[in-house]
Amino acid sequence: MHKRLAENGLRYIRGKVIGSVEEAIEFYDAESLGEVVIKPIRSAGSCNVRICLNKQEMIDAIEDIMCMEGYFGGNVKELLVQECIDGDEYIVNTVSHNGWHRVTLIWKYSKVKTSGGAMIYDTVETVNSLGISEAEMVEYAYKVADAIGIEYGPVHGEYMIDKDGSVLIEVNCRPCGGNMSARFLDEISGQHETDSILDAYLKPARFKQKALQRYKLQAHGALKMFIVPENIVAKSAPMVDISPNLKSYFEADFAEMAEEGIFYIKTEDLHSTCGVIYLVHEDNNVLQNDLNFLRSLEKYAFSLVLSPELDKIKELDEDKLASDLTKVVDTVSEYGTGLLLKRIKVGGIVFIPETTYKYVPGQRKSIEALMIDLDLRIEVPPYGVDAGVIASKNLIS
């Protein structure tokens, strides 16, 4: 595909399909490359994709990947070696009728590079209004569709914007993936991509009418893919119960847990993430707050995403709990009316001592996450109160 771009005078990425380390070294030296990307020629979801900083890392990656099974089965026999582009990565989805291209949705990736050079997904978010260089990227995407000969149907293209402008990473003649439901996409843009695809083939007049309309989304959307930090046998997914309380929550996609547990490997690509939360909201600030909350759980309290324990709380020693609470009531009363295990009123506070949260999987971090999830504010603890979580409900959230 990049050869077609070069033939049409469009920016392209230098690359070569190789079947051995020797071929890779020859290409690397001939092009005077530095940082490169290694990827199987038949794959998906960043499986077995590696970013290599130098020639030796490239050699090691090739030897490693060629010993692996490919995403679609069988041994990896050929790899694509490409120069590495460092920039922001996007998705531009288009649908075409008789060579007339229409943008349906634009997304922006956030990915994380592992110590081994793999790129793993963090989030993908809708682009609701264009920033610097993004309009030029759309124009480039139209030219890419022309160059590869697309006249009808969907195109899912992935692009990068760097200091030199826009460049194609890869393109496929299919709708966007991500297991996005029709309802999810309807909330964001008022239509599912399938609608536009059917219009392109069956209702060309309506297709052209919509193609002339401004690109305008109804809400902001995002997918948060959860990164597994290490191999784990999970028996529960607390995130399934936590996430519905988020203001921008739409739906969750996690495997149904079995009592004996499910084995999850450390995340190395899209398909080894452990679950996805879909978010939609008209206010992007609300959505960003929810994303930051989910990232903090993933980083600091992963047991609230996946847990090796069943969804069961240990028995509480009620007498000891009551005794401990009595000791702190006078101190925390400075914050206002304290309410425990009841609906929190505006101006009231809730106090969770260590004697309570130590019985909860994830302990203090779990309780703090719960407070935030309930739209409460975690207070700065006063001197004299140790090992307790104090939260309040404010007049202004």
- Arch. (CATH architecture) of 2-83: 2-Layer Sandwich (3.30)
Residue position matching structure tokens 């007339």: 100
Q: Is 35 helix (H, G, I), strand (E, B) or coil?
A: coil
Q: pLDDT at position 312, please? A: 53
Over residues 293-319, the pLDDT tens digits come to: 999 999 988 988 999 887 654 444 556
pLDDT (mean) for 238-267: 90
Q: What single string gives the DSSP state of each residue in 84-145?
A: PP-SEEEEEEEEEETTEEEEEEEEEEEEEE-TTS-EEEEEEEE--S--TTHHHHHHHHHHHH
Angle at 168 between CA 162 and CA 173, to 5 degrees: 150
Q: pLDDT at position 43, please? A: 62
pLDDT (mean) for 163-181: 88
Fold of the CATH domain 88-211 = D-amino Acid Aminotransferase; Chain A, domain 1 (3.30.470)
Residue position matching structure tokens 């290409």: 27
Pairwise CA distance, residues 118 & 134, whole Å: 26
Over residues 115-136, the pLDDT tens digits come to: 666 678 899 999 999 999 999 9
Angle at 134 between CA 131 and CA 140, to 5 degrees: 165
Query: Which range, 136-140, 261-265, 266-270, has the best average confidence (pLDDT)?
Result: 136-140
Whole-prediction pTM:
0.79
* Paired residues of 100 in beta bridges: 97
Over residues 54-105, the pLDDT tens digits come to: 999 999 989 988 877 666 556 778 899 999 998 999 999 999 999 999 999 9
* Paired residues of 176 in beta bridges: none
Q: Is 83 helix (H, G, I), strand (E, B) or coil?
A: strand
Angle at 110 between CA 82 and CA 230, to 5 degrees: 90
Q: Is 337 helix (H, G, I), strand (E, B) or coil?
A: coil
- The pLDDT mean for the chain works out to 84
Sign of the dihedral through C-alpha 166, 170, 175, 180 = negative
